[in-house]
Amino acid sequence: MSSTPQVKTNRIGLPVLEYKGGKTTLCAGCGHNAISERIIEAFYEMGVQPERIMKLSGIGCSSKSPAYFLSRAHSFNSVHGRMPSVATGALLAQRNMLAIGVSGDGDTASIGIGQFVHLMRRNLPIIYIIEDNGVYGLTKGQFSATADLGSKLKSGVLNDLPPIDTCALAIQLGATFVGRSFSGDKRQLGAMLKAAIAHKGTVMLDVVSPCVTFNDHEGSTKSYKYVKDHEETLQEVSFVPHFEDIAVDYDPGSTLSVTMHDGSHLQLRKLEEDYDPTDKIHAITRLTEAHDKGEVLTGVFYVNTKALNFLDMLNVVDEPLATLPESVTRPGREVLEAAMEELR
């Protein structure tokens, strides 16, 4: 008699199926689909209860992708470029949730830039992902503000404006975990996402994610071929979660081990001898150099596990605001009278 094969489960007893979402409606080969796959694996491998997660987005093909992962999580598809304010409100109301926001380069760097910069300066605990294809995919491929100077649309039109480097901007503004990866780099992106889940501050990941329909041709700097030919990696990124009882063993000369908030270890095996991801100024300089050389620099550019996050800074209570009793949320008559007195 043959026994039924056991379904593999994670440390909280769930199979990977419980982390999946609906069937994608994006184009076959779109980089955004590969990123959804990595998000599913990262949350499964980290054993996060799906109902503890809130997923948020704006508008765009990228912003549709939360429908294709973590069906059991809470979800909010906001207005174009306005996901940061919705995320801020949601986390202030319920700080025990784990937030992941998915945006596009158009959603973030054009219409949403005002909200993006204020999110970065607050160090709100959220994983903010830009699925960066250099175009507005959903509205048929116009250049976005991350498109490189001189890159070419399918129609032959040249981009005559310089790009915004969202990573340099995020570092300068105060985000505490900033990196760039490529949708096609399973290992690097997977390790960065797991470290992101362990980080308790703003994680900003710019993931180059080719749009196969509008921006994967000769002359594009966000095509699969361009990234493969011009990628420079800063480190080999690996991650040891706190629940895997593996002694962290590394050569301090060539590897940097960062202890995350939950005791996990992010290990960065340096490929560039003098790169220090705790040095903000160096990170911005290195990004500027890479840009000038036409390199697609990937890796963890900046990490700071010491800074206070927005919720701790405001001393937000643990209990969700919605379930706080009226006796706590409603000021008594004396408090109101004292306030009125001050206004007299």
For 67, 95, 159, 321, the CA distances from 52, given in Å and listed in that order, are 16, 10, 42, 16
Which residue number, 36 or 238, has a Cβ lying nearer to ligand SF4? 36
Considering only 52, 72, 74, 80, the residue that binds ligand TPP (CB under 6 A) is 80
Region for residue 325 given its phi and psi (left: phi exceeds 0; alpha: psi -120 to 50; beta: otherwise): beta
Q: Rounded to whole angstroms, how far apart are CA atoms 3 and 36? A: 33
61 binds ligand SF4 (CB under 6 A): yes
18 binds Mg ion (CB under 5 A): no
Which residue number, 134 or 241, has a Cβ lying nearer to ligand TPP? 134
Q: Rounded to whole angstroms, how far apart are CA atoms 109 and 120? A: 13
We find the least distance from the C-beta atom of residue 60 to ligand TPP, in angstroms, to be 3
The one of ligand SF4, Mg ion, ligand TPP, none whose footprint includes residue 139, by CB under 5 to 8 A per kind, is ligand TPP
Q: Which residues of 286-317 are buried (b: 16+ CB within 10 A; e: fewer)?
A: bbeebbeeeebbbbbbbbbbeeebbbeeeebe
The length of the chain is: 344
104 binds Mg ion (CB under 5 A): yes
Judged by CB under 5 A, the chain residues 105 through 124 that form the site for Mg ion are 105-106
We find the least distance from the C-beta atom of residue 165 to ligand SF4, in angstroms, to be 21
Judged by CB under 6 A, the chain residues 144 through 183 that form the site for ligand TPP are 144
Which residue number, 146 or 235, has a Cβ lying nearer to ligand TPP? 146
We find the least distance from the C-beta atom of residue 132 to ligand TPP, in angstroms, to be 8
Judged by CB under 6 A, the chain residues 201 through 220 that form the site for ligand SF4 are 211-214
Which residue number, 41 or 107, has a Cβ lying nearer to ligand SF4? 107
Provide the 3-class DSSP secondary structure of residue 136.
strand
60 binds ligand TPP (CB under 6 A): yes
Stretch that binds ligand TPP, among 10-18, 132-140, 157-165, 181-189 (CB under 6 A): 132-140
Q: Are the beta carbons of 105 and 130 closer than 8 angstroms?
A: yes
Q: Rounded to whole angstroms, how far apart are CA atoms 28 and 265? A: 35
96 binds ligand TPP (CB under 6 A): no
62 binds ligand TPP (CB under 6 A): yes
H helix intervals, the chain: 31-46, 61-64, 83-93, 105-106, 113-122, 166-173, 186-198, 224-230, 280-293, 310-313, 326-329, 333-343
Which residue of this chain has its Cβ atom nearest to ligand SF4 in the complex? 137
- The 22-41 site mask, x for binding ligand SF4 (CB under 6 A), equals ----xx--x-x---------
**Token pair in block for residue 235:** 């480190």
Judged by CB under 5 A, the chain residues 132 through 151 that form the site for Mg ion are 133, 137
